[in-house]
Chains A and B, each alone.
Chain A
Amino acid sequence: MRLFAAQAASVLAGLLIFTVKNHIVSHRLVPHVEGEGIPYPLVVVSLIIAALGIHLAWRLYTVRQLLGQQAEAESAVWKLLRYPYQLLASMLFAGLISIGVSVALGGDGDPVQTYADVLTGGIGMSLAMAVLLFVAVRGVLRETVLRLQREYGGGRSLPIIRPLLTTYLGAFLAAMLNVQQLMLIQSKQPGSLSLQAFIGAASIDAALGLSLAIFVTTRFRAEFRRMVRSLRELVMDEHPRVPRPKGDPEDEASDLALVFHELQARARQRFEQFERELRLANKVQQKLLPPGDMTIGSYRIAARSRPYHEVGGDFFDVLSLGPNRFAIMIGDVSGKGVPAALLMSALLMLFRAEIRRNGNPAEVMMRINEELCEALGEEGAVTMGIGVVDSVHDTLQYVSAGHLSPYIVSECGSVRALDCSSLPIGIDPETQYESIVHKLQPGDQFMLYTDGLIEAMDEAGRMYSFDGLEQELARWGLGGDLPARVDDWLGRMDAKYARDNDDRTIVVLELVHAYWLQAAEREAAAALHGALLDEMAPSRFYAHDWMLGSAQGTERMVAEQVGMLVSTFWPETVLGEDVQSAVSEGIMNAMEHGNRLRPGSVVAVQAQVGSRITVIRIYDSGGGFFPHVARNEEEMARKRESEDPRGWGLVLIDALSDYWATGRDERGFYLEIYFMRKTRA
């Protein structure tokens, strides 16, 4: 209705203006209608309004139909956008036809020659009415078109300059044609128009053109101001320090540039802050994970995790459950980025708490599943694999929750997948999980991995796949240092399979054959010390603890104090200096190799001096090492002649102490040094 009213009002206003102008110039603009019963222009205008009404109804019907079909909505918006322009063209055309008919009906001879002035004025009048109609209809439709564009997408649009140019040009041409008509009338019948009438009529045309130009310009300015104001409010919400101008500034373009600059600076600041936070989150996430290389008893563990983004949803863990048991775990949260990383961190903490409560992996998995379902309400699926290793019997108890089957690679090179299918956790709180038990042989490697590894692609789009993994694992039976082998493999993977789009994590556990043999020997040796260890009754020893940062140079003071303790409690012995040097080397190893001299990392030292034995335990937060000392002549000579002759810490500890061992408990990896009470010559 508003549209139709705008159309009718525009046409009628055009007619009114024309009638006033015609009256001023004594009806010389359309002389043939003078004195007739029904004014010809009124008939024409009525017909035009009726035609416009029909056209509008048809157009709106078409648009409604198209909006009903989601796929055609964009086309409907485009039709509405073009409607004012079509009206402009149609109005001009209709005006020309009606003027032509009027001229043809009104005189003898060559009508074009006779009524050139009428034709000129008719075109001018039609153009003026068309522009009036265009401005009015576009004004009414503008908000609707913007709303539909927001609702159904931007789609096609017209440049901002087009309505402005159309209005300016149309109004200017109409005014020129109307003045031209007056001049033609004056030249055909000199003196027929007074100067006042000429100026009056021309002024009406000029005022109409100017009004239209001012109207569209003012509307454009209002829209522009509204946009700048919205932007400023957006910036102020984000950035309260941005000054608010008093009232609307006069120079909108400068104001827009200013606000846009502020918005840009804020966006850049936000982006940098987000980047910083992601880097921090990455550091936190990496710190949550255990060291990549670890030694526990006869087992060597190498774990590598590389998130696809700064933070990822893959996780793994290696946890001591007592002197002879430890757990390894791998997990993959569905999804990537920050949400997956948050869930991953929570699950890691949950796993650590649950596995310590009960070391049975199946029960642990069920409890984690229940808690995850309760917390997330079946919104996030997570695959997990948990293994518990008994290092006395070399057995692996493993349970999987929808995780990819792990592989066992034997020393002879055979590769076998452990079948264990089940639902991921976080789907059904009632899911029952069952563990399988596998007896590990010396040299066996147990490998856990996430799907990012399998789905990595090379440049040609070929997936690494299970075949690629099995071919690689088949070469692993040849032995060698596990971390070096894993790093070499991943280096080759990175070079060739660069088109991955997921986090990539592997955890490999190896029962090292050489370690296993040596451990057996050490166990036999330890049995010899058993009787002596029993003598260290709790009531008969003195104990003291130290904590020190990982800064070289600080070890001397603690080592001296431990040495003095031994000298004080065992005055008849000459062990003080030996203890001091051994402890000093142990602490240095813990700082340098265990804690990698990280600022803030701590080395804890416990000394217990009993009546017959002194035990010193040195803790670090590293991955540990296997208690093996290379002190044969060749090895020692090679060390001495190397560029950086080092690695004698353990050699000295081994030579100075009576016995030493390594282990892991809830405080971390430790080196334990034993001194027996004996008088040396």
Chain B
Amino acid sequence: MQQPLVIEKRQFPGGCVMQLRGELTRASEHEILDGFAAEFAGEVRFLVLDLTGITYINSGGMAVLIRFARTAKKAGMHTFAWGITPHYEKLFRMVGLTEWIMLYPNEFSVMQRIESL
């Protein structure tokens, strides 16, 4: 049974955490990509993806993540992510997703990194 992607956003100074839950596939393209660059333009410098609620990712979902990170970079934002399993981390490295999204083990380490920037 396909689980649709659900996104919850919460702001922090200079950034936004996007909590993703469900399946990350090509079908989630519009959920993630539509309008986020315009929404955060000028206010947000850091985008943090919380992937702990993600149950399944395939190559289509990884392509969506790359487009997300690339669009964010063009808008002057940095993308971070935490909460993926070692298996998906391995897949992210295989396709070079880690060149666009910085992966961290948890939210605390992401925030530490952002503060140092």
A residues apposed to B, CB below 8 Å: 552-553, 555-557, 577-578, 581, 584-585, 588, 636-637, 640-641, 644-646, 648-649, 651-652, 655
B51 interface contact, C-beta 8 A: no
With the chains together, A641 CA to B100 CA distance in Å? 10
With the chains together, A287 CA to B91 CA distance in Å? 38
A272 to chain B, nearest CB (A): 39
- Residues in A whose Cβ lies below 8 Å from that of B1: 557
Contacts known (A585-B58, A645-B67, A646-B60); A552 close to B26, Cβ less than 8 A: yes
**Contact count band on B:** 20 to 34
Cβ B26 vs Cβ A648 within 8 A: no
With the chains together, A637 CA to B59 CA distance in Å? 15
- Residues in A whose Cβ lies below 8 Å from that of B45: none
- Which of B27, B56, B95, B99 makes the CB contact (< 8 A) with A648? B95
Cβ A581 vs Cβ B58 within 8 A: yes
Which of B1, B27, B58 has the most chain A CB atoms inside 10 A of its CB?
A: B58
Cβ A585 vs Cβ B59 within 8 A: yes
Cβ A553 vs Cβ B2 within 8 A: yes
With the chains together, A358 CA to B78 CA distance in Å? 65
Closest A residue, CB atoms, query B2:
A553
**Residues of chain B in range 39-70 having any CB-CB distance to chain A below 8 Å:** 56, 58-60, 62-63, 66-67, 70
Cβ A652 vs Cβ B59 within 8 A: yes
With the chains together, A314 CA to B70 CA distance in Å? 50
With the chains together, A111 CA to B52 CA distance in Å? 132
- Which of B2, B60, B97 makes the CB contact (< 8 A) with A588? B60
With the chains together, A442 CA to B94 CA distance in Å? 33
Cβ A640 vs Cβ B100 within 8 A: yes
With the chains together, A445 CA to B7 CA distance in Å? 53
Cβ A636 vs Cβ B25 within 8 A: no
- Residues in A whose Cβ lies below 8 Å from that of B2: 553, 556
Contacts known (A637-B96, A655-B94); A648 close to B23, Cβ less than 8 A: no
Closest A residue, CB atoms, query B58:
A584
Contacts known (A637-B96, A640-B99); A645 close to B60, Cβ less than 8 A: no
- Residues in A whose Cβ lies below 8 Å from that of B10: none
Closest B residue, CB atoms, query A644:
B63
B87 interface contact, C-beta 8 A: yes
With the chains together, A578 CA to B67 CA distance in Å? 24
Q: Label chain A's interface by main secondary structure.
A: helix
Contacts known (A552-B25, A578-B87); A640 close to B96, Cβ less than 8 A: yes
Cβ B66 vs Cβ A640 within 8 A: yes
Which of B27, B70, B96, B99 has the most chain A CB atoms inside 10 A of its CB?
A: B96
Cβ A640 vs Cβ B87 within 8 A: no
- Residues in B whose Cβ lies below 8 Å from that of A645: 63, 66-67
- Residues in A whose Cβ lies below 8 Å from that of B87: 577-578, 581
Q: Label chain B's interface by main secondary structure.
A: helix
**Residues of chain B in range 1-20 having any CB-CB distance to chain A below 8 Å:** 1-2
- Residues in B whose Cβ lies below 8 Å from that of A585: 58-59
With the chains together, A581 CA to B2 CA distance in Å? 16
With the chains together, A590 CA to B91 CA distance in Å? 20
With the chains together, A393 CA to B67 CA distance in Å? 46
- Residues in B whose Cβ lies below 8 Å from that of A641: 70
- Residues in B whose Cβ lies below 8 Å from that of A555: 58
With the chains together, A244 CA to B87 CA distance in Å? 79
B residues apposed to A, CB below 8 Å: 1-2, 23, 25-27, 56, 58-60, 62-63, 66-67, 70, 85, 87, 91, 94-97, 99-100
- Residues in A whose Cβ lies below 8 Å from that of B66: 640, 645
Cβ B63 vs Cβ A648 within 8 A: yes
Contacts known (A641-B70, A645-B67); A651 close to B95, Cβ less than 8 A: yes
Cβ A646 vs Cβ B59 within 8 A: yes
Closest A residue, CB atoms, query B85:
A577
Which of A637, A641, A652 has the most chain B CB atoms inside 10 A of its CB?
A: A652
With the chains together, A640 CA to B1 CA distance in Å? 29
- Residues in B whose Cβ lies below 8 Å from that of A581: 58, 87, 91
A591 to chain B, nearest CB (A): 11
With the chains together, A240 CA to B62 CA distance in Å? 63
B51 to chain A, nearest CB (A): 15
A559 to chain B, nearest CB (A): 9
B106 to chain A, nearest CB (A): 21
- Which of A553, A578, A636, A655 makes the CB contact (< 8 A) with B27? A553
B101 to chain A, nearest CB (A): 11
A160 to chain B, nearest CB (A): 71
6 contacts between A and B (CB under 8 A): A556-B56, A581-B58, A588-B59, A588-B60, A640-B100, A644-B63
- Residues in A whose Cβ lies below 8 Å from that of B25: 552-553
Cβ B95 vs Cβ A640 within 8 A: yes
- 3 smallest A-B Cβ distances: which pairs? A577-B87, A553-B2, A648-B59
- Residues in B whose Cβ lies below 8 Å from that of A637: 96
- Residues in B whose Cβ lies below 8 Å from that of A588: 58-60
Closest A residue, CB atoms, query B67:
A645
With the chains together, A578 CA to B90 CA distance in Å? 10
A636 to chain B, nearest CB (A): 5
Closest B residue, CB atoms, query A560:
B56
- Residues in A whose Cβ lies below 8 Å from that of B26: 552
B44 to chain A, nearest CB (A): 23
With the chains together, A652 CA to B67 CA distance in Å? 19
Cβ A652 vs Cβ B23 within 8 A: no
B3 to chain A, nearest CB (A): 9
- Which of A553, A578, A649 makes the CB contact (< 8 A) with B59? A649
- Residues in B whose Cβ lies below 8 Å from that of A556: 2, 23, 56, 58
- Which of A553, A577, A644, A652 makes the CB contact (< 8 A) with B95? A652
- Residues in B whose Cβ lies below 8 Å from that of A644: 63, 67
Closest B residue, CB atoms, query A636:
B96
Cβ A646 vs Cβ B56 within 8 A: no
B43 to chain A, nearest CB (A): 27
Which of B59, B66, B87, B100 has the most chain A CB atoms inside 10 A of its CB?
A: B59
With the chains together, A553 CA to B67 CA distance in Å? 21
- Residues in A whose Cβ lies below 8 Å from that of B63: 644-646, 648
- Residues in A whose Cβ lies below 8 Å from that of B62: 648
With the chains together, A655 CA to B95 CA distance in Å? 10
- Residues in A whose Cβ lies below 8 Å from that of B96: 636-637, 640
